[in-house]
Copies of this chain bind each other. A is one copy, B any other.
């Protein structure tokens, strides 16, 4: 018979720490701590399989679960010496979710379960604290009402606030036991009114209902969204932990706290955390009262502090990783409620991993996996320019909850953050009194988060650290009026859209836009860590860079070449775009060639700069790729301007003409006829689906003179730099090839022009000509293409677009629904679709190498900087990935992890 329920308590658990799949993270942790003889309140865990059965059976648990739960309950009653529903000595339990992977605050929890009109009296008598008993009971009704019965929280708040108002008190604690009894009566009315039933007095019924509500909460919106963001499968399900309650709010010898064995923001080896006396756990996490630093506990209860330090140190040794723990002190006695590997910032991850190697706790190859490759990226976030900061006075200072520097426009709601971001209004800073799980979408898009309440372990702090996003929390000196949309700080007022800057490393808040400077890639900690990683890396890492500045940055991060230099970006500069436009507007080849002649020296200079920066490393240069209309004004704008100019008469006409002349000065347009001609050309170039239109090598085949000019510029630059004694390795890459012949036509131009230029210069420079594989057809005929092409570089952005039939520009409306419905597990433009697009990558690599054994194969799409994708490319046997310069370290670490995983027989970055 299947085992669904696992008891823990009395120094022994049916489960253990290795059973996260079955018990969830929390349940496994409780079992493990119980087995380690730590002071854990007894309880039982209902397995994740039960959750899956619950959904399979149409929201019902198997009958067997009820039976096993009854047995476990009996054990629990024995262990606690209390009976559920017993009027004299009632057992109270908490009911909490706990999935395999931590999803903080995403699912539901119910505390104080087991209280009813009778047991509350028993509790009052036993604790000799009627106020505590009634408060616990009203909390139960409120949580049960909102979580299990889905009654809006505000309904309960109305009753509670009404009572406070009536009693003219400010603090919750100012309400007396009698007041709370009246609140309870009010709450019960709310329950009856909304659910058409009385609040259940039967404790077992409460337990059953609460258990099922936790199962249901697995699919609530927040949880679903969180899993999507964190690539957690919907199929896992959550376990339910039922545990005897201990109370941190039984008076001044009770308390509760959370902590970390090391600082989760910096990684420093200090005991770190917060506590509140006479409080329940939710008071700490919710950030409603600002808690005390954990060091203060030493003063308040020295023995308990020493016991806690001892226990948590043992836990860290046991788990061989930094622990994030929760505890409660009930009337002087310490209970451990939870422990798990703590979330941490990138810097902290690096520090902890490095320190633990030095402490002999873990090995170097283990340390590699203690830093998420994406977190290395976070280390490269800009920080405020210290010189500028010297001259600035912070408006206020909050807690440095998640490091980095953020500059943005103030918004007061998550919805606003999302709306402004979608409208491309520039970066926003989400400013809230405190954040809740409902705010998660807004937090995701914001440049940073600022809260006026809550501590280092408040929702805002925990979530932003997970995101690697800058956060200043609990800045109590500021006031946030979300209703009036007003932030008051340092005597100034900031409305929606006003700019502020926050420093997540110091907690400082500044008015306006403070200049930032990039991070230091030569950080010694980072350097030593990367040095451990390097031997495991097989995959080369290059960077995508279009200008010498980016090329130099890429080198500084350890890029081994340029994998993609997009030549079109070079045309947008001052003094260039006008020649580009003249080329596009040319009537016939002759005019076009004249314009190209003017572009030649400008391109040559750009290429020379890049060759110079990449001395000795290969530089892959892609010939012109985008459709030509991208260089001209938008069609709709021209149509409207022409209409306006024509419709105007008299003085309005003169004014309109002046405006048009100014606006189109680059095109030397003076009247409607000129505007019409320009519009005519734009109309000619207009395409219904530009992504599938006249671009890439198609341009070079229709206008070979463009390719000729670009290749000449490349080789003239190569000659220039080579003559200075530097090594130059040009790799010319032909984009958007679908057939071997397209490649052959363009490659012929490359070879011819190269021979001309090198012949004139009497110089030998070895170079390669290759192609992007970015269309399904190219992948399908890769074997033929490789007969001519010396290298492949997968353009996985375009390949994703055509393989899925998704336009990157238009997927915005579809993607959220597809993620929510589980059609897609992740954005295929962020992490490569290994099943579909990846299949083409594998096929093309295999057939390309079958034609040409030494074919060099790389990838230069966005996926080159995504750790999971890098793992896939490693397994596919590519030679290198190329990513944006700031992603180079991430790619290097991900590649090393893939290599190390392979060496140990596992793998990294595999997705469903």
CB distance from A171 to the nearest CB of B (A): 43
Closest to A798 in B: B805
> Which of the candidate stretches A305-313, A596-604, A813-821 sits at the interface with the other chain?
A813-821
Interface residues on A, range: 35 or more
Residues on B with beta carbons closer than 8 Å to the beta carbon of A314: none
Cβ-neighbour of A809 out of B648, B689, B836 (below 8 A): B689
Residues on B with beta carbons closer than 8 Å to the beta carbon of A813: 694, 702
Cβ-neighbour of A776 out of B648, B798, B803 (below 8 A): B803
Q: How far is the CA of A630 from the CA of B833 in the complex (A)?
A: 30
A736 touches B780 (CB 8 A): no
Q: How far is the CA of A635 from the CA of B742 in the complex (A)?
A: 36
Given contacts A738-B836, A776-B840, A836-B777, contact A806 B692 (CB under 8 A): yes
A329-370 vs B, Cβ < 8 Å mask (1 yes, 0 no)? 000000000000000000000000000000000000000000
Which of A742, A775, A801 has the largest number of chain B CB atoms within 10 A?
A: A775
CB distance from A10 to the nearest CB of B (A): 46
A745 touches B689 (CB 8 A): no
| Interface of A, helix, strand, loop or mixed by DSSP | helix
Judge if A647 is at the interface, Cβ distance under 8 Å: yes
A803 touches B823 (CB 8 A): no
Which of A636, A777, A781, A807 has the largest number of chain B CB atoms within 10 A?
A: A777
Given contacts A636-B635, A701-B818, A701-B823, contact A693 B810 (CB under 8 A): yes
Residues on B with beta carbons closer than 8 Å to the beta carbon of A698: 814
A794-805 vs B, Cβ < 8 Å mask (1 yes, 0 no)? 000010011111
Q: Of residues 687 to 706 in A, which have CB atoms within 8 Å of B's CB atoms?
A: 687-694, 698, 701-702
Closest to A695 in B: B805
Residues on B with beta carbons closer than 8 Å to the beta carbon of A636: 635-636, 639
Residues on B with beta carbons closer than 8 Å to the beta carbon of A835: 780-781
A817 touches B702 (CB 8 A): yes
Cβ-neighbour of A810 out of B640, B689, B806 (below 8 A): B689
Given contacts A636-B639, A692-B806, A804-B775, contact A814 B780 (CB under 8 A): no
Given contacts A688-B691, A798-B805, contact A780 B639 (CB under 8 A): no
A687 touches B810 (CB 8 A): yes
Cβ-neighbour of A640 out of B639, B777, B804 (below 8 A): B639
A688 touches B810 (CB 8 A): yes
A661-692 vs B, Cβ < 8 Å mask (1 yes, 0 no)? 00000000000000000000000000111111
Given contacts A777-B836, A781-B836, A836-B738, contact A745 B821 (CB under 8 A): yes
Closest to A833 in B: B777
Judge if A644 is at the interface, Cβ distance under 8 Å: yes
B643 touches A836 (CB 8 A): no
Closest to A742 in B: B823
CB distance from A648 to the nearest CB of B (A): 8
A803 touches B777 (CB 8 A): yes
Give me 6 other A-B pairs in contact (C-beta within 8 A), A687-B809, A777-B805 excluded. Answer: A688-B691, A701-B818, A736-B805, A738-B836, A780-B839, A781-B835
In the complex, 8 of the A-B residue pairs with CB atoms within 8 angstroms, ordered by the A residue number, are A639-B640, A688-B807, A689-B689, A689-B810, A694-B810, A736-B805, A745-B823, A776-B840
Interface residues of A (CB under 8 A from B): 635-636, 639-640, 643-644, 647-648, 687-694, 698, 701-702, 736, 738-739, 741-742, 745, 774-777, 780-781, 798, 801-807, 809-810, 813-814, 817-818, 821-824, 833, 835-837, 839-840
